């Protein structure tokens, strides 16, 4: 097994072969389920108001990966999504741009043409999204196609079947190979926490993805319930924080799916600040995978600035 | 045997078919006309109003999309359940408004009859208010009434049941959904009405009932961009101009009732017509 970067000796040992990887992952401390759920709920009650709320809303908007991953996607829909990414609220040019647009590989070209020169990233899901059930060749081809088309970020799914049956080496190899195929593009590794069942598994999968070189760890595809939850995001934030302590490298986290309201988004931001640290409050290190969230953020922003409640008639339909 | 201690009630709001406490956690004592304690009611806040508007908006497609006949059936069913709670309403109206039992009985009966009267209108509105227009060209031209959307209703302060029914029924009969701020000092019949609505066939969110201070909540509803119409019936005199002004900010329909409206008189169609928009369709002939 090849370690993707130069790692401190403890971590370099972990990736030497499959049995040492297993030993490392199973040697990780277990997650205190009650504790993490209670802490997540406790931090969720923190009240963010007025100027701090406005700042949080703008930060959240700049962290959105505006996503459309439907069988019914058309080039027209992707173009309108790109337009929205550039100017989320057309009446208010001071609204920040979103971080990225996230689409299926065949839509990447359309998105890339629309977003040329804007600095907005083009993320593409790849590797037989959302199930990840295909051969390695096809997954690699899928990834290369997305990158050739202009994707600057690749969202891959791990093979949950292999992970749950304990074939960690196989999952590790896959991530390493996909990372190579990505070239300069950033790699986000989707753990699909809804299928991993336990927080211990989420912690192991997070470390596995970090060891294999994922730039981001992402909770879910959005196609499986439950998708992103606060406690799961806590566990993943702990992993990137510990990764930084051990290696000095900064890796990102992306909760995706089920985050629909501004209130939820702010709870996540509080978690980022408290669990990982303020330096993660940055679109390069924390993202929201969402589609409906952006409209709610825009409505809340208007509410804050106009002094009265806004409504869905004043934002775009998507 | 000792005298039984009666159970003092603390009521909650009615939002989206559920009975939540006020987000603010506040409640206030409701008294009868002589100042005796009746119960505690939830004191709604602007955020309760916001949640209620969201619930009403969510319920709107289903309710406005239901056939007029079906809406009529649902409203008749409400009248049936109202009838079943007649005794409770009579005692609450008597206590709240300080009237004799006989007068209260007649008020409740009129309220139930009023509900039935509006229930009968649901499938007749299009025939009465719509038209097939004669036009100078090879077109059919039809005008049909359509519901306005989410209506914020400030219920009458004095007439606690008959007045309330007279302002809610016309709003929902034509397919709108509503957020109602009840009479501030006489909310009990409205709370019981919410229990009636919850146990009849009205989908959750079609009627949302908030108890509390009208003057506190009304400005937020008047300026709310997702509210399409505002009924000023129970608005304090001093607030009316301000409410109309902020309603104009998002071009709401505003119903300014006659001051001292007598709800005992059989109404005309004006309250039904107030929350309807006319859609006209031109269709080429022979296609």
- Asked if the Cβ–Cβ distance from A308 to B225 is below 8 Å, we say yes
Does residue B13 belong to the interface with chain A, where contact is any CB pair within 8 Å? no
Distance from CA of B279 to the nearest CA of A (A): 19
**A122 strand-pairing partners:** A101
- Asked if the Cβ–Cβ distance from A308 to B220 is below 8 Å, we say yes
For residues B122-133, average pLDDT: 96
Residue A151: the pLDDT is: 96
- Asked if the Cβ–Cβ distance from B57 to A314 is below 8 Å, we say no
Residues of B in contact with A309 (CB under 8 A): 50, 53, 220, 223-226
- Whole-prediction pTM value? 0.91
Give percent of chain B with pLDDT exceeding 70.
Answer: 99
What is the domain count for chain B? Answer: 1
Catalytic residues of A: 155, 218, 254
Residue A7: the pLDDT is: 85
Does residue B50 belong to the interface with chain A, where contact is any CB pair within 8 Å? yes
Tell me whether residue B174 is in a domain.
yes
- Note down the domain range covering B94: 38-284
Does residue B220 belong to the interface with chain A, where contact is any CB pair within 8 Å? yes
Does residue A314 belong to the interface with chain B, where contact is any CB pair within 8 Å? yes
> Tokens standing for A149?
């088309």
Residues 191-250 of chain A with CB under 8 A from chain B are none
Residues of A in contact with B60 (CB under 8 A): none
Name every residue whose Cβ is closer than 8 Å to that of residue B264 and which is 6 or more positions away in sequence: B107, B110, B162
Tell me whether residue B69 is in a domain.
yes
Does residue A309 belong to the interface with chain B, where contact is any CB pair within 8 Å? yes
Give domain limits for chain A: 9-306
Instruction: Note whether ipTM > 0.90 here.
Output: no
Q: List the single residue in B with minimal CA-CA distance to A312.
A: B226
Note whether B284 and B139 are within 8 A (CB).
Answer: yes
d(CA A68, CA B248): 37
Residue A1: the pLDDT is: 54
Band the pLDDT of A317: cuts 50, 70, 90.
confident
Selected from 1.20.950.20, 3.40.430.10, 3.30.70.270, 3.20.20.70, the CATH number assigned to the domain covering A9-306 reads 3.20.20.70
Does residue B246 belong to the interface with chain A, where contact is any CB pair within 8 Å? yes
Please check the confidence at residue A164 and state whether its pLDDT lies above 70.
yes
Q: How far is CA B167 from CA A82, A126, B102, B230, in A?
A: 46, 56, 24, 11
Tell me whether residue B29 is in a domain.
no
For chain B, the farthest-separated pair of C-alpha atoms sits apart, in whole angstroms, at 86
DSSP at A225: S
Burial B115-153 (b: 16+ CB within 10 A, else e): bbbbbebbbebbeebbeeeeeeeeeeeeebbebbbbbbb
- Asked if the Cβ–Cβ distance from A309 to B53 is below 8 Å, we say yes
Note whether A101 and A66 are within 8 A (CB).
Answer: yes
Band the pLDDT of B274: cuts 50, 70, 90.
very high
Tell me whether residue B51 is in a domain.
yes
Tell me whether residue B24 is in a domain.
no
Please check the confidence at residue B195 and state whether its pLDDT lies above 70.
yes
- Rounded to the nearest 5°, which phi and psi values hold at B210? -120, 125
Band the pLDDT of A5: cuts 50, 70, 90.
low
- Asked if the Cβ–Cβ distance from B249 to A308 is below 8 Å, we say yes
CATH of the domain at B108: 3.40.605.10
Does residue B225 belong to the interface with chain A, where contact is any CB pair within 8 Å? yes
Please check the confidence at residue A300 and state whether its pLDDT lies above 80.
yes
- Asked if the Cβ–Cβ distance from A309 to B57 is below 8 Å, we say no
Q: How confident is the prediction for chain A on average, in pLDDT? A: 94
- Asked if the Cβ–Cβ distance from A312 to B249 is below 8 Å, we say no
Give percent of chain A with pLDDT exceeding 90.
Answer: 92
Of the candidates A248, A251, A226, A227, the one whose C-alpha atom is nearest the C-alpha of residue A239 is A251
Q: What is the count of residue pairs from A and B with beta carbons less than 8 Å apart?
A: 27
């Amino acid at each position: 097994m090849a370690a993707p970067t130069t790692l401190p000796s403890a971590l370099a040992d972990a990736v030497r072969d499959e049995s040492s990887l297993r030993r490392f992952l199973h040697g990780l401390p277990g997650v205190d389920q009650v504790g993490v759920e209670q802490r997540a709920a406790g931090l969720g009650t923190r009240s963010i108001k007025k100027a701090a709320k406005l700042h949080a809303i703008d930060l959240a908007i700049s962290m959105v990966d505006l996503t459309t991953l439907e069988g019914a996607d058309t080039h027209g829909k992707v173009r309108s999504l790109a337009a929205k990414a550039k100017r989320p609220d057309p009446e208010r040019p001071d609204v920040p741009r979103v971080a990225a647009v996230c689409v299926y590989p065949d839509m990447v070209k359309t998105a890339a043409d629309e977003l040329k020169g804007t600095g907005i990233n083009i993320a593409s899901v790849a590797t037989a999204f959302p199930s990840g059930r295909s051969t390695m060749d096809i997954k690699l081809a899928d990834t290369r196609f997305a990158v050739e088309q202009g994707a600057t970020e690749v969202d891959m799914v791990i093979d949950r079947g292999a992970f749950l049956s304990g074939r960690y080496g196989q999952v590790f190899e896959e991530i390493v190979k996909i990372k190579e195929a990505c070239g300069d593009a950033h790699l986000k590794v989707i753990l699909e926490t809804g299928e991993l069942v336990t927080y211990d598994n989420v912690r192991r999968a997070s470390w596995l993805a970090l060891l294999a070189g994922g730039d981001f760890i992402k909770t879910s595809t959005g196609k499986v319930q439950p998708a992103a939850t606060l406690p799961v995001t806590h566990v993943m934030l702990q992993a990137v924080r510990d990764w930084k302590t051990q290696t000095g490298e900064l890796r990102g986290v992306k909760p995706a799916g089920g985050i629909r309201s501004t209130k939820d988004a702010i709870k996540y931001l509080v978690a980022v600040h408290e669990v990982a640290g303020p330096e993660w409050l940055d679109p390069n290190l924390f993202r929201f995978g969402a589609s409906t969230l952006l409209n709610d953020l825009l409505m809340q922003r208007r509410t804050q600035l106009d002094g009265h409640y806004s409504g869905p008639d004043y934002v775009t339909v998507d | 045997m000792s005298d039984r201690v009666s159970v003092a009630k603390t009521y909650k709001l009615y939002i989206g078919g559920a009975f939540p406490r006020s987000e603010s956690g506040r409640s206030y004592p409701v008294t009868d006309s002589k100042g005796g304690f009746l119960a505690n009611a939830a004191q709604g806040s602007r955020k309760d109003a916001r949640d209620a508007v969201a619930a009403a908006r969510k319920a709107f497609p289903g309710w406005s999309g239901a056939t007029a006949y079906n809406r009529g059936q649902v409203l008749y069913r409400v009248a049936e359940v109202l009838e079943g709670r007649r005794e409770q309403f009579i005692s609450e109206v008597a206590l709240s408004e300080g009237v004799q039992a006989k007068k209260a009985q007649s008020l409740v009966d009129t309220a139930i009859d009023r509900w039935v009267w509006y229930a009968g209108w649901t499938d007749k509105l299009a025939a009465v208010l719509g038209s097939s227009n004669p036009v100078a060209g090879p077109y059919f031209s039809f005008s049909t009434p359509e519901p306005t959307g989410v209506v914020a209703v400030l219920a009458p302060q004095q007439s606690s049941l008959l007045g309330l029914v007279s302002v809610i029924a016309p709003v929902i009969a034509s397919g709108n959904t509503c957020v109602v701020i009840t009479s501030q000092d006489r909310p009990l019949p409205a709370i019981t009405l919410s229990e009636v609505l919850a146990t009849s066939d009205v989908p959750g969110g079609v009627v949302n009932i908030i108890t509390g201070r009208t003057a506190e909540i009304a400005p937020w509803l008047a300026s709310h961009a997702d509210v399409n119409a505002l009924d000023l019936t129970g608005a304090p005199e001093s607030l009316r101009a301000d409410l109309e002004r902020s309603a104009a900010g998002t071009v709401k329909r505003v119903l300014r009732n006659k001051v001292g409206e007598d709800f005992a008189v059989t109404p005309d169609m004006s309250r039904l017509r107030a929350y309807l928009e006319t859609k006209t369709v031109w269709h080429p002939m022979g296609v």
